[in-house]
Copies of this chain bind each other. A is one copy, B any other.
């Protein structure tokens, strides 16, 4: 029994995801297929890269994570399979693994070239079904990585947006808005801890000031704005029992400025 996860931009209104699962189960009836999400905005590689990073470590070692957000399908872009730390990944080589690779201590990748592990007929528009799903299924049966193609040592990497850390402030940005409207920034808990020392911080976003980092959502009054560290260690701007993105009228890319209080 081996876990294969799927993260795509296929949505849930068509049967694209179902077809991928059918292909996997046809090759390995014992695979355990788990959805990460299929609601990545169409072609949004950055969102896929970020969301993958928040979830992949919670799976059993040896889990195979398949990521299909693939605007270049059918073009010359490469497909890849690789091992990063304890996990396997199968994806187009377009940067969807950027966050994963930014943390990687060990990594081995191959380019998907061996058509023996693809479906017999390969469409030009749906490699999720015809290439990535069958490769993942064969991997889950123990086919070694090296069987799928030659080494790939220069995977595409997107710039993972980093905060600008200055003497007197941190210039950060919102990198994801979640289902609750929480604004997730690119500032990590350790980064802020190191920078702030013992000082209190003040956070500015969309013309609003937040004067502390709270421990929990319930630190604010209902519908009150707050900042806290979310479940992936990122600083989040939230509204208790409300939607910060809607209330502030901002989304991904919004600027966040963090300063220290005068007194500390």
User: A interface vs B, CB < 8 Å?
Assistant: 1, 3, 5, 7, 9-23, 25-26, 29-30, 32-39, 42-43, 51-52, 54-60, 63, 71-75, 123-126, 129-130, 178-180, 215-218, 228-231, 236, 240-241, 243
A123 touches B230 (CB 8 A): yes
Q: 3 closest pairs, A vs B, by CB? A: A74-B216, A126-B231, A11-B179
Copies per complex of this chain = 3
A42 to nearest B CB, angstroms? 5
Contact (A39, B19) CB under 8 Å given A59-B25, A228-B125:
no
A217 contacts B125, C-beta separation under 8 Å: yes
A229 to chain B, nearest CB (A): 8
CA distance A35 to B240 in the complex (A): 26
- Are A42 and B179 closer than 8 Å at their CB atoms? yes
25 contacts between A and B (CB under 8 A): A1-B29, A3-B25, A12-B12, A12-B35, A14-B179, A15-B51, A15-B52, A18-B36, A19-B58, A21-B34, A22-B57, A22-B63, A25-B59, A71-B217, A71-B218, A73-B218, A74-B215, A74-B216, A75-B217, A123-B229, A123-B230, A124-B215, A124-B216, A124-B228, A126-B231
Q: In the docked arrangement, what's the CA distance between A33 and B36, Å?
A: 13
A222 to chain B, nearest CB (A): 9
- Which of chain B's residues have a CB closer than 8 A to the CB of A179? 9-11, 13-14, 16, 42
CB atoms of B72 and A26 under 8 A apart? no
